[in-house]
Structure 1
Amino acid sequence: MTAALIHGIILAFGLILPLGAQNVFVFNQGASQPRFRGAVPVIITASLCDASLILLAVLGVSVIVLTVPILQTVIFSAGILFLLYMGWSIWKSDPASLSQKEAAMPTKKQILFAMSVSLLNPHAILDTIGVIGTSSLSYEGNEKIIFTASCILVSCLWFIGLAVAGRIVGNFDTEGKLLKTINKISAIMIWCVAIYLGIQLYNG
């Protein structure tokens, strides 16, 4: 059981550490919200989405995505559109007025964006299925439960940590200069992911 726990923790960290669109969005919300509680919706949404993908991978349900070509095309296309829109929204945002309530992204928009970068990210889905789903085959019974739970726990704690880090940056960057730069870089990164997905879709 200890081996399953350690395996799950290390594996989850390895998959979630790279600075992708999902991590960038959670960090930005932690930084741009006037209060930390304003970023709670994005933390919960991202955590639930990741937990769902992990559970589906372990249960083997999400393998259907890999066997139905039209589903892959739909997921890639929707993911590209959402990433392009998200990049544009982040690029246009003005963090200089963090004290104003309207500067923060509304809860509904947070949830929509968090779901898009979590569930409409083909790489996240394929990584979850290919790595976590495949690795879970090594365990049965309680060991599989521990392995799955450790992956989900790491994911939740990581998103909380990202939002806290963003909040710390937002607190000392009262004029929003650093956040504006971070937003520009984040938008470019997100657009690069969208372009990369577009190339993959075209070549596929």
Structure 2
Amino acid sequence: MTEAFIHGLILAFGLILPLGVQNVFVFNQGALQKRFIHAFPVVLTASICDTLLITLAVFGVSLMVLGSFWIKTILLTTGMVFLFYMGWSTWKSTPAAEKGKNENTAKETFTPLKQVVLSASVSLLNPHAIMDTVGVIGTSSLQYNGSEKMAFALACILVSWIWFVGLAVAGRITGEIDKSGRLMRIFNKISALVMWGAAIYIGFTLII
């Protein structure tokens, strides 16, 4: 069981580490919010969504969803629309350091509800996240049974929760250091481009 747990830790960390839409969004919200607690909705949502995907992947339920052409098409199309919208919102967002200069920009900070909706969209409607969990974690879990399979799943879930909390904290620290807002303004533009790039990629997968 210990071997399965360690395997899950290493595998999940390797999958979640690369820069992706989900990581970018969590980090960005950590930096933009005035206090870390205000970014908690996005952290909680991303963690719960990953927990759901990992659980479905390990126990095979998600294979039924991906096996349906229409369900997969609807999910990918919805995800593409959300990513274009998120990219536009992120491109226009104002760093927290600049918001104090103009009270009218305060409304651009994502509300808890908006954080939850957008975080869920990049988590559950992200083809990369789905293929990572189903294609890699789900497949890797086939070698385990019973308590070992449970230990493997728990390890993957644990990595997700720790990672997203750490990302939000790193974002908050960056936001505090970047008093001028210049660094976060650049990061916002890069984040938007990553989201638009992911949306375009989804569009190609739908066409092909």
TM-score by length of 2: 0.94
Indicate whether 1:93 and 2:108 are aligned.
no
* SS of equivalent residue, structure 1 residue 174: coil
Q: Deviation at 1:103?
A: 4.5
Distance in 2 (CA, whole Å) between partners of 1:103 and 1:73 is: 32
Q: Which residue of 1 aligns with 2:82?
A: 82
Matched, 1:158 2:159: no
- CA distance, structure 2, for counterparts of residue 22 and residue 65 of structure 1: 21
Partner of 1:133: 138
Structure 2 residue runs without a partner (length 5+): none
Q: CA deviation at 1:50?
A: 0.2
Identity among equivalent pairs (%) = 59
SS at match of 1:132: helix
Note if contact 2:90-2:191 (Cα within 8 Å) is conserved in structure 1: yes
Deviation track 1:26-46 (CA, whole Å, cap 9, x = no partner) reads 000000000010011100000
Contact 1:4 1:143 in 2 (8 A): yes
> What is aligned with 1:9?
9
**Which of 117, 121, 146 is equivalent to 2:122?**
117
Q: Per-residue deviation at 1:104?
A: 2.4
Instruction: Flag structure 1 segments of 5+ consecutive residues without an equivalent.
Output: none
Contact 2:79 2:122 in 1 (8 A): yes
Distance in 1, matches of 2:128 and 2:183, equals: 29
Task: Name the counterpart of 2:150.
Answer: 145
Q: Distance in 1 between matches of 2:80 and 2:66?
A: 18
- Residue 9 of structure 1 aligns to which amino acid in structure 2? L
The answer as to whether partners of 1:8 and 1:148 remain within 8 angstroms in 2 is yes
CA contact (8 A) 1:32 1:103 kept: no
Retained in 2: the 8 A contact 1:98–1:104? no
CA contact (8 A) 2:50 2:123 kept: yes
* Cα RMSD after superposing both structures: 1.1
Distance across 1 between alignment mates of 2:93 and 2:32: 10
Runs of 4+ in 1 over 3 A off after TM superposition: 98-103
Alpha-carbon separation, structure 1, partners of 2:152 and 2:159: 11
The two structures have a TM-score, normalised by structure 1, of 0.96
Question: In structure 2, how many angstroms separate the alpha carbons of the residues matched to 1:166 and 1:123?
Answer: 23
Q: 2:29 aligns to what SS in structure 1?
A: helix
